[in-house]
Amino acid sequence: MSAAQSERNHVIIGTAGHIDHGKTQLVKALTGIDADTLAEEKRRGITIELGFVFMETPVPDKQIVFIDVPGHEKLIKTMVAGASHIDAALLVIAADEGVNLQTREHFDILKLLDIQRGIIALTKIDLVDEGRIKKLESEVRSFVEGTFLSDAPIIPVSAVTGAGLEELKEALVDVSQTVEAREDSGVFRMPVDRAFTMRGFGTVIAGTVLSGEVKVGNKIEIFPDGIISKVRGIHVHHKQTENSGLGKRTAINLLGVDKEKLRRGQCAGQPGSLKPTNRLDGRLHLLKSYGKELKNRVRVRLHTGTAEIISRLVFLDRDKLKPGEDAFVQFVLEAPTVALPQDRFVLRTFSPLMTIGGGSILDSFPLKHKRFDSQTEEGLKKLDGTMDEVVEQMFLKGVFTPQDAAEIALKIGKKDQAVIDAVGKLLKEGKLVEIAPEKAIPEKEKKYLHRDSYDGLVHKLLSLLKNFLERNTHLVSMPFGELQSAVLKITDSQTFNSIVADLIKKETISKKGSKVSPVGYELKMKPHEQKMADAVEKLFKEAGLKAPLEEEARKELDIGASEFKKIMDGFIERDILVRLSDKVTYHKETVNIAQEVVMAELREKNAITIADLRDKLMLSRKYAQAILEYFDNIGLTKREEDRHVIR
């Protein structure tokens, strides 16, 4: 088989219409294939399960795939699953009966699913006269006025006589020519509309590929159940193939998964690419024809993808929704599902079953919202807006967790490049801040925070520093590690480092060794503390090289232990006093004197021993040793046996 033949494009056309109006017969008349294959369907003369029938078109590489749906009022759930991802609709209206209940309901569903194109077939014209056809045509024209079918061809046909079939076929081919390629995120996703076992082939799931591609041997995940499996085989149009992709009707044979674990409503996808959720945010339109108000927290049936999930409907900005109105809503699901922003949904009442509205998903992983919160509404408006707004809102939603374009692309089901472009624009507008990467990385992995979040973190960091210094009036800096661990509770270390570097560059803070301070910060001591501190400094300064033990100094000045500790910490922190060793603490000026002496000695003799220094300065060994070891420690000198030399 040539590549061109195996890479056929499928245009998926869903039937719609009232029970017994001739949908299945029409597909059969067009293709020769009867979609009703179940014994029960034959016995009852109605469609129960979705039927999938292929029709060749004169266009190379293009086939029409009919999804034949049931018209029965109790099988709307199946119809919605079948119609959820079609490219075009074939609305079937029997000429003898005209527009009936499920004609309306199916048509409402097609509109709510945002189906863009279609054809209307008036069937069973062999049962009526010409006058009736003309009359019905004009009735139908006004029925579809102002909708996606307002300019659609209305074609009278008979499956019995074959009248109109050629014209219908042409119209179907014409409409299939107008179907554009779906936007592809590049990540494999396929809602499951059938699961079955095929003799000699094993367990199979089937559906329409909404994005990306799938190959034999790929790992795939069945959401929301988290079943990980491997693709053993792929069938497209009844033929075994190595791969399938965007827009194609595809059957996938899964390795080692029981049929019992698979069902319509699941979604197959690249492992980890979707996240099961118990909440979904969306914009809901309530059908005018429903004629009633909808109350907050009403229990409804939410149809999204091929799934039906019982949910509570929470209004965010009102207590009731009037027919014909739109509102932002949150669905609280009774079972988890997966969805992506911009997926369509249909809403039906819990009981009795009625289609009452629909709309699009805006957030497939929302928080539980406070109702009547203006910020929630603003966020949802952004998610309902342009690509730039959606991406900006995703960053706002991420709060203090930096995100990259690839991550957001996955969360909203868009191409990496589309998000990279939006990020570029937002960055230019100053709405995002780049988190300095630790190493060179590709564009799609560069992390950003929303400017508001970034400013929030800066504020948080600076107030942590301020609070620390207010609590420690004797200090002018905060231990860096303490600041870091406080900030790391709300963000990651890359972000923390990036903010610190930024604040240092802007000269807001300074970092010396392991200490960080606000630039220009000065100690604010109370007068009595200042007096004690002055006394301590004076004592060490005057004692010079023969400084007392800290404890001796404390006793001499008669200062309480905790107050003394604070004063000492303050001096050490500012390098006014220096702890050379456990027992020797010098004033900074004394250290400088000692350094001059040692350096002079080294210039002259290249080396100095503890004994040399002891004699030179007429000090005890304790001091001489502490001085030389301190200079070793700060890297000025190094020890070679008992001699200390310049490093």
Which residues lie near Mg ion (CB under 5 A)?
23-24, 47
Contact in structure between 593 and 544 (CB atoms under 8 Å) = yes
* Smallest distance, ligand GTP to C-beta of residue 105, A: 12
Nearest distance from residue 127's CB to ligand GTP, in Å?
5
Residue with smaller CB distance to Mg ion, 94 or 619: 94
- One residue of 127, 335, 488, 549 binding ligand GTP per CB under 6 A: 127
Pick from 14, 71, 118, 269 the residue near ligand GTP by CB under 6 A: 71
**Rounded least distance, CB 126 to ligand GTP, Å:** 5
Q: Would you put residue 139 in left (φ > 0), alpha (ψ -120 to 50) or beta? A: alpha
**Residue from 78, 84, 158, 176 in contact with ligand GTP (CB under 6 A):** 158
Q: Which of Mg ion, ligand GTP, none sits in contact with 124, Cβ below 5 to 8 A by type?
A: ligand GTP
Give the binding range for ligand GTP (CB under 6 A) out of 1-9, 70-78, 372-380, 624-632.
Answer: 70-78
The β-bridge relationship of strands 277-286 and 267-269 is unpaired
In which residue are the tokens 């075009």 written? 88
The closest alpha carbon to 304, from 366, 351, 347, belongs to 347
- The piece of 16-24, 139-147, 306-314, 324-332 that touches ligand GTP (CB under 6 A) is 16-24
- Binding to ligand GTP by residue 164, rule CB under 6 A? no
- Beta carbons within 10 angstroms of residue 263's beta carbon: 15
392 closest CA partner among 373, 412, 364, 372:
412
Q: Residue 185: name its binding partner from ligand GTP, Mg ion, none (Cβ under 5 to 8 Å by kind).
A: none
Residue 101 binding ligand GTP, by CB under 6 A:
no
When the beta carbons of 158 and 244 are compared against ligand GTP, the nearer one is 158
Closest CB to Mg ion among residues 48, 504 = 48
Pick what 126 binds: Mg ion, ligand GTP, none; C-beta below 5 to 8 Å, kind-dependent: ligand GTP
Q: By Cβ distance, which residue is nearest to ligand GTP?
A: 71
**Based on the number of CB atoms within 10 Å of its own CB, is 442 exposed (0-12), middle (13-18) or buried (19 or more)?**
exposed
What's the Cα-to-Cα distance from 126 to each of 99, 100, 130, 168, 245, rounded to whole Å? 17, 19, 10, 16, 41
In the set 73, 126, 389, 537, which binds ligand GTP (CB under 6 A)? 126
User: At closest approach, how far in Å is the CB of 23 from Mg ion?
Assistant: 5
Interface pick for ligand GTP out of 10, 111, 124, 554 (rule CB under 6 A): 124
Q: Count residues contacting ligand GTP (CB under 6 A)?
A: 21
Contacts of 496-502 with C-beta under 8 Å, sequence gap 24+, read 496/461, 497/436, 497/438, 498/435, 498/436, 499/454, 499/457, 499/458, 499/461, 500/461, 501/436, 502/436, 502/458
Query: Looking at 21-29, 258-266, 305-313, 330-338, which segment touches ligand GTP (CB under 6 A)?
Result: 21-29
Candidate residues 6, 7, 34, 46; the one interacting with ligand GTP per rule CB under 6 A: 46
Q: What are the b/e assignments for 62-95, b being 16+ CB within 10 Å?
A: bbbbbbbbbbbeebbbbbbbbbbbbbbbbbbbbb
| Residue 26 CB burial class (10 angstroms; 0-12, 13-18, ≥19) | buried
CA torsion 72-361-336-233 (nearest 10°) is 70
Asked whether position 600 contacts ligand GTP by CB under 6 A, the answer is: no
Give the shortest CB-68-to-Mg ion separation in angstroms: 6
Using rule CB under 6 A, residue 133 touches ligand GTP = no
- For residues 249 and 52, the answer to whether their CB atoms sit within 8 Å is yes
Least distance in angstroms from the C-beta of 351 to ligand GTP: 22
Which C-beta is closer to Mg ion: that of 24 or that of 176? Answer: 24
Q: How far apart are CA 87 and CA 11, in angstroms?
A: 6
- Residue 277 interacts with ligand GTP (CB under 6 A): yes or no: no
At its nearest, how many Å lie between Mg ion and the CB of residue 69?
8
Taken in order 209, 210, 214, 218, the sign of the CA dihedral is: negative
- Min dist CB 15 to Mg ion, Å, is 7
Q: Which of 8, 16, 24, 404 binds ligand GTP (CB under 6 A)?
A: 24
Per partner kind, with CB cut-offs from 5 to 8 A, the member of ligand GTP, Mg ion, none near residue 248 is none
Name the residue nearer to Mg ion (CB basis): 66 or 345. 66
Report if residue 78 touches ligand GTP, rule: CB under 6 A: no
SS3 557: helix
Distance CA 450, CA 435 (A): 10
Q: How far is the C-alpha of 10 from the C-alpha of 190, rounded, in Å? A: 15
Pull the structure tokens for residue 161.
Answer: 């006589």
Token pair 């929630």 in the structure block, residue: 376
Can you tell me which of 7, 9, 72, 317 binds ligand GTP, judged by CB under 6 A? 72
* 644 token code pair: 């200390």
Among 364, 362, 358, smallest CA distance to 339 is for: 364
Instruction: State the minimum distance, in angstroms, from the CB of residue 194 to ligand GTP.
Output: 17
Identify the residue among 70, 358, 359, 413 touching ligand GTP (CB under 6 A). 70
Output Rg (C-alpha) for the chain, integer angstroms: 38
List 21, 431, 554, 614, residue binding ligand GTP (CB under 6 A) = 21
* In the complex, least distance from residue 287 CB atom to ligand GTP, rounded to whole angstroms: 22
Name which of 245, 191, 189, 193 is nearest 216 in CA terms: 245
**Strand 118-123 and strand 154-156: pairing?**
parallel
By CB under 6 A, name the binding residues for ligand GTP. Answer: 17, 19-25, 45-47, 70-72, 123-124, 126-127, 158-160
